[in-house]
Amino acid sequence: MSSSLDITAATVEPALLDLPWHLPLEDWPSENIAALPKGLSRHTVRFAHLNDHVIAIKETLPELAKREYEMLKQLLKLDVPCVEPFAIINGRATEDGEELLSVLVTRHLKFSLPYRAMWSQGLRPETATRLVDALAVLLVRLHIAGFFWGDVSLSNTLFRRDAGAFAAYLVDAETGHLYDSGLSNGQRENDLEIARVNIAGELMDLIASGNAAPGVDAVATSERIVAKYRELWAELTGIETFEAADRWKINRRVDRLNELGFDIEELAIKTDATGTKVKIQPKVVDAGHHARRLIRLTGLDVEENQARRLLNDLDQYRMEHPRAGADEEVLAHEWLSRSFEPVVLAIPKHLLGRLEPAEIYHQVLEHRWYMMENQKREVPVAEAVQSYIDNVLVNRRDEEAYLSPMTEAITLPNAVPSGTIVVAEDDDEIDWRDLV
């Protein structure tokens, strides 16, 4: 190991010193590598074991590593879904003294998958749609925070299951900029166009390789993110005007935003000179309405759609177990100990890594409903849990530590700052971006 090794870490982790930083990432021995799926990247990326967790390591230029590290820290402070920066390591060199690229280290996001890990059986149209919808929500949240991404794509995003949908996380902030004054319409539209073109190309690649199920329309799916984004942006930021007598529409607007999973921190309300017209516009919108309510009541920290599903089950429990004068928090604790925890504890230890506990609970509820529909009878929860374990969960791959395929060094030249990529002179392969 080079004596000039320079480590900047967010947390104290001496075990970082034990990793083979004197080797290029592509030459790291298998005992250091965690077999997790990775998406396409312009850089060499590896997952590695570090004590009892997994880290993602990306080789890049020192200035880019520092910039992305700081950018991810800022995004986390703004509560934007993204990977957690862990460390920057500079001064790497081989045992022969040859300089190596710096690395950016981030924590592996548990139970997350790149979009390419989802087409083992062929990417289905409905899955592609849900992925794009999740990316649209992420892009809106980034833009509200004043973040211009510059390289929006499925490849630069990680996805976690969220009660039948997906939650998207930014994984590559290298090309991004954060503006305190917010983004212009031109900047937002630029990001949106980049997303449309990149998604179309990524899906075309899957279709051409035979890894997409019949019915996946790359162009139509890529256009969906534009429509979905504009629909959500208008709902979150749009101005609404109505008669003064219709002031109930203020609460209706707030309720609609809550249903979408957003809270309003500020609401601008103006009347005209006559007092007959009222104009309202959300000023600060914060995502995670249902997740915050659930963590307040139960301590469970889950994705937004999972929280919505669990809260619905909690509300059903309250209706089935009426207690005059009982606090909501008391009934929530009862639901946690009598409904949620018994289901999770019933899962065999060797299957616990297949899905997040909240996702397992959601799927058990869905499985039970289908059993009752098919069998036309009331199915006990314990029976539904056992059926789910035997017929569904055992057939799922482990998404906490997905063991196949092995990580590979894949590069993709897309939207990279000038001077950061070296292309071989004999590289005649056509980039799909030249064809879109």
179 in any annotated domain: yes
Query: How many domains in the chain?
Result: 4
C-alpha closest to that of 91 among 15, 22, 13: 22
C-alpha closest to that of 43 among 406, 413, 418: 413
Whether 187 and 218 share a structural domain: yes
Per-residue pLDDT averaged across 391-412, rounded? 57
Residue 339 structure tokens = 């409904």
1 in any annotated domain: no
Whether 252 and 362 share a structural domain: no
Helix, strand, coil % in the chain, rounded to nearest 5: 45, 20, 35
118 in any annotated domain: yes
Q: How much is the pLDDT for 172?
A: 92
Whether 265 and 315 share a structural domain: no
The partner residues of 90 in beta bridges, in order of sequence, read: 6
In the block, tokens 């998604």 appear at: 199
pLDDT digits (tens, 9 = 90+) for 89-112: 999 999 888 999 999 999 988 888
Residue 74 structure tokens = 């800022």
C-alpha closest to that of 197 among 166, 218, 211, 212: 218
In this structure, what CATH number is given to the domain that contains residue 201?
Answer: 1.10.510.10
Whether 409 and 376 share a structural domain: no
Beta-carbon contacts of residue 362 (< 8 Å; ≥ 6 apart): 163, 164, 306, 309, 310
124 in any annotated domain: yes
Residue 182 structure tokens = 């917010």
CA distance 173 to 76: 12
Per-residue pLDDT averaged across 126-137, rounded? 92
CA distance 240 to 281: 7
Whether 278 and 307 share a structural domain: no
Q: How much is the pLDDT for 33?
A: 86
In this structure, what CATH number is given to the domain that contains residue 416?
Answer: 3.30.200
Q: Which of 237, 258, 279 is the last residue of a domain?
A: 237
Whether 183 and 252 share a structural domain: no
207 in any annotated domain: yes
* Better-predicted residue by pLDDT, 318 or 226: 226
pLDDT digits (tens, 9 = 90+) for 337-369: 999 999 999 999 889 888 889 999 999 999 999
Per-residue pLDDT averaged across 44-61, rounded? 89
306 in any annotated domain: yes
Containing domain of residue 353, as a range? 290-395
305 in any annotated domain: yes
216 in any annotated domain: yes
Q: How confident is the model at residue 119 (pLDDT cuts 50, 70, 90)?
A: low
Cis bond before residue 405 (omega within 30° of 0): yes
* Statement: residue 433 has pLDDT above 60: no
Whether 151 and 258 share a structural domain: no
Q: How much is the pLDDT for 381?
A: 93
Q: Which of 206, 221, 237 is the last residue of a domain?
A: 237
Whether 314 and 422 share a structural domain: no
Whether 297 and 389 share a structural domain: yes
Whether 133 and 217 share a structural domain: yes
